[in-house]
Structure 1
């Protein structure tokens, strides 16, 4: 184990454990169907373990897998340590204060965000979540979740604000690169005051945090690789042994893509968007112009 398990978060341990279990199974040339048959598990249980989707992991399950895969000694001990952390510690979003505000499937995103060292985000319709002001996100949530009690909306807004603390994280530090469609600057969310505050906030964050970079894809760029919708590309510390992943979501579902061809496709799309977008300084000029016109 090449990191401090005493300081490791449950999110990190879930991801590292899942990745390790899949690598070990493949190296042992054991089919998932055989594991499920032997342990009388549903296929979805093994999938959740290998993708880190379970909030907690039972040590008995890890021991059973180690028996099948022939894992012993130090490696078995490390896998059990990962499972122990998921049972004995809680991520901030697992607290009663925030749990109710997490949509189905979004916990997987929070796991990735809490562990990544680099996050690339393309947004076509609204300001990226890590850059949203409280007033802006409140308008979005009130429109998207009509009929929800005000206290639930308040919790959703509070969770978004809490998430933004990741930009100030130091271990590991997060490099955040956001690319927005120019339409985001002009689509009015709330009144003009909300928009001026929101766009001014983006400028302030970019100018005060060297780990945050924002670019705008202008209308003049024409068609581009982001026209199929928003996406996130996550990269992780090399010592964790985690490969880059992609997160996608829509009205009905949220998906984490792990297959290398899929991840490469989105990584390439983001690179193309960066090339098509206005440069960082020009992008800030576009945002400042939008502030004046709002």
Structure 2
């Protein structure tokens, strides 16, 4: 399958008149990465495929074929049963391919760690006029996303730095927030592939005061990481080395400033006692 996809992409690139170097520049990848994809030596990420298809101005039929081939695995393509916005479809495809997520959560708890009631409250808060059926469909999608943490073919490793604000904000009310905190404590104490660090207010200024982000790392160490930033102005996928290095350094700094795992659990238990 990998070799077939590579051959098709090679044909498309040559038809477009782009060199390997030009194709790589279009999607923020090196010429060696494009060469390895075309030679069938490396899987193409969904975000890379979409970028190359756009750069090559690929015919609709070929776009559909290659996208179907890349998302052919039943385990990784379950989300195609949902009518998702294109940006969300791209993200969940990357998340399914990833081996590790390094997260900084600022405004709310990360989607993979939310309880059902908390997730419903977040969706309703962000879409106050949406029909109830739409909210429930999105809720089902987000709950199913969490299966990456327990999948048989290598559970996703999740390393999250939680800003203290995520612990105090009563999303869905006090009881909903208490349930969410209990869930976080349980995940931190019982799930080996989940690491939680709390960043207290007392730590002061830090490199990511402007917002949350997610770094997606992939099983093949030669595959560059992708940084995802969700903002009111749009969703960003950063792939250039200088950008990924910057966020890698930020996450390392945040993790260094945050409480260790045991102290983070103790901190969350203290917050839980204070929520009335």
TM-score w.r.t. the length of structure 2 is 0.76
CA distance in 1, matches of 2:110, 2:229: 14
One of 209, 222, 239 as aligned partner of 1:258: 239
Matching of residues 101-140 of structure 1 within 5 Å: 102-140=84-122
Spell out, residue by residue over 1:73-129, the C-alpha distance to the aligned partner (whole angstroms, 9 max, x if none). Answer: xxxxxxxx966624866611111xx22xx3341112111110011100101111111
CA distance in 2, matches of 1:51, 1:87: 13
Q: Is the partner of 1:53 in helix, strand or coil? A: helix
2:40 is matched with: none
1:53 is matched with: 50
Q: Is the partner of 1:119 in helix, strand or coil? A: strand
1:74 is matched with: none
Question: Are the counterparts in 1 of residues 46 and 70 from structure 2 also a CA contact under 8 Å?
Answer: no
The aligned length equals: 240
Q: Is the partner of 1:205 in helix, strand or coil? A: helix
Cα gap change, 1:171/1:61 in structure 2, threshold over 3 Å: closer, same or farther?
Answer: same
Question: Are the counterparts in 1 of residues 47 and 94 from structure 2 also a CA contact under 8 Å?
Answer: no
Answer yes or no: is 1:94 the counterpart of 2:80: yes
One of 254, 258, 263 as aligned partner of 1:273: 254
2:69 is matched with: 85
2:22 is matched with: 31
TM-score w.r.t. the length of structure 1 is 0.72
5+ residue gaps in structure 2?
27-44
